[in-house]
Amino acid sequence: MTRMFLMILLLSSVIPLASVHAQLRGYQDDGFGAPPVPVVTEIDPNTGASSIPSEWAGCPTAIPNTLFAEAGFALGFTSGYAVRSGDLYGLGWTFPGIHLYKVDSTFCATARPIDSVTPTGFDDLESLAYCPDNDRFYSADFDFTAHTGRLIEIHPTTGIGTVIGSPMSFDVRIVGMTCDPTGGTLYAVTSAFGATRPNVELLSVDRTTGVETLIGDTGLPPNSLESLTLNGLVTPARLIAADNEVFQIDVSSGNATLIGGTLPGLWGLGSQTLGSPLPATVPVPFLPRAYWGLLGILLLATVRLHRPQSRG
């Protein structure tokens, strides 16, 4: 019996584990045509290279990953991306107004507004993050007269924004934001707006008070970044930020390290997790039906060989 179970354990150990990886989806609005064509692109977090996402490769257009707008939705450009329950969402500028929209991925990439009539209620949202613990999106508005920003919470089913807490510090203009799904921390990068902020900074933002805390200077000059996301499938988790190039941002210091890429401008970046994350301590094999059947036969044989014999 011991030998049989060892055979079963050995068989299980050589079966491949379920595949788990992340795909980064970015929004860029120039570089592919004249006038610029808005596209949804896949970004390689290891090289910064962009490519056409596989889900839209079959779209029968000259540029398969073109982002179309639902009829009646006058989409200008997108200023932020985030993933909610496996779906990609964006903030679309419609002049006037900014609307939360969902990307329909059934055939071609199509932006469908959560509410095509009522916008978020704010006019300078340049980031988008999603926190699963309370099912809310977040962004930051900016007042160019007062030089102060405010944290904005956005409801996922209405698309309406609400101000959270107090204004941020002087000249803090957030252009990229992401949420750590394990701890709920909001991370943000700035544009280095004004004379008091000479370099792009990494911040954490309190979701209750709206107050930001400086983590560190990225070492990048003004307007070097326009998007931010968290690749949480590696340890330690990696913050990925981009505009014309893709960078890794150190979560503890804010220091930016170039990954690569030559992009026309990445205004939004969202990380989409594919596959089923497995516990690090107890690997669980993915067993196709054929393997389950074989294991069942082995177990049945084991029981029959070792069951007590009847006494006549």
Kindly state whether residue 293 falls inside one of the protein's structural domains.
no
**pTM for this model (two decimals):** 0.79
Kindly state whether residue 281 falls inside one of the protein's structural domains.
no
Q: What is the pLDDT of residue 232?
A: 64
What is the H or E stretch that residue 292 is in? helix 289-306
How many domains does one find in the chain? 1
Kindly state whether residue 17 falls inside one of the protein's structural domains.
no
Count the alpha carbons within 13 Å of 274 in the hemisphere toward its beta carbon. 10
Q: What is the pLDDT of residue 269?
A: 83
Q: What is the pLDDT of residue 201?
A: 97
Q: What is the pLDDT of residue 272?
A: 60
Q: How is residue 183 written in tokens?
A: 């701890």
Enclosing domain of residue 64 = 22-276
Q: What is the pLDDT of residue 297?
A: 44
Kindly state whether residue 284 falls inside one of the protein's structural domains.
no
Kindly state whether residue 299 falls inside one of the protein's structural domains.
no
Q: What is the pLDDT of residue 186?
A: 96
Kindly state whether residue 153 falls inside one of the protein's structural domains.
yes
Distance between terminal CA atoms of the chain? 25
Kindly state whether residue 297 falls inside one of the protein's structural domains.
no
Kindly state whether residue 151 falls inside one of the protein's structural domains.
yes
Per-residue pLDDT of the chain (312 residues; tens, 9 = 90+): 444 433 433 333 333 333 334 578 888 765 444 456 788 989 888 899 999 988 888 999 989 999 999 988 988 889 999 999 989 999 999 888 999 999 987 789 999 999 999 999 999 999 999 999 999 999 999 999 999 999 999 999 999 999 999 999 999 999 999 999 888 999 999 999 887 888 999 999 999 999 999 999 999 999 999 999 987 666 666 899 999 899 999 999 999 999 998 887 888 888 765 433 323 332 333 334 443 344 344 434 443 444 444 433
**Residue 68's CATH number:** 2.120.10.30
DSSP structure string for 112-135: EES-SSS--S-S-----EEETTTT
Q: What is the pLDDT of residue 99?
A: 96
Distant-in-sequence contacts of 88-97, Cβ < 8 A, 24+ apart: 88/25, 88/40, 88/270, 88/272, 89/128, 89/130, 89/137, 89/156, 89/270, 90/27, 90/128, 90/268, 91/120, 91/125, 91/128, 91/139, 91/268, 94/119, 96/123, 97/123
